Structure 1
Amino acid sequence: MQHLEEQIAHLTRTVDELSDVISRQQGEIDRLTHRVAMLMERERARDQEGNGGVILGDERPPHY
């Protein structure tokens, strides 16, 4: 019986630790998702302004 109690205590501690890890990872995912959304919005605004700044290989730079 004591062996089962020890095993349950160990499993309970492991589950708690894994829950903490998942919680931290979810927070990081949320922050990264927010940053990506901000970058996408910034890029969308840049595209609408028309000065995206990307020069393709066959285009001349604006100073020519």
Structure 2
Amino acid sequence: MSDELLEVQTQLSFQEDSLQTLNDVVTRQQKDIERLTIEIERLREQFQTMVTMQLEEHEEPPPHY
């Protein structure tokens, strides 16, 4: 009986360690997702600014045309 209890405790300990490792990975991935989402939004804004500037430059021909 003692050997069986020790085996169960060992398995539980291994599972707890595995769960903590998985939790750490998920937490890190969530931080990465949040950081990348912010970066994508920043790039989207920069792109929109560039497009707007390009459109403004080509709106009217110069007066000598």
**TMscore range, shorter length:** 0.7 to 0.9
Higher relative contact order (CA 8 A, sep 6+): 1
The two structures have a TM-score, normalised by structure 2, of 0.74
Does residue 9 of the first structure (1) align with residue 9 of the second (2)?
no
Q: Give the Å deviation of 1:26.
A: 0.8
Sequence identity of aligned pairs in percent? 20
Long gaps (5+) in structure 1: 52-64
Q: Aligned-residue CA RMSD in angstroms?
A: 1.0
Report how many residues are paired: 51
Segments of 4+ in structure 1 off by > 4 A?
A: none
Long gaps (5+) in structure 2: 1-11
The two structures have a TM-score, normalised by structure 1, of 0.75
- Bigger Rg, structure 1 or 2: 2
Question: Which has more helix, going by share of residues?
Answer: 2
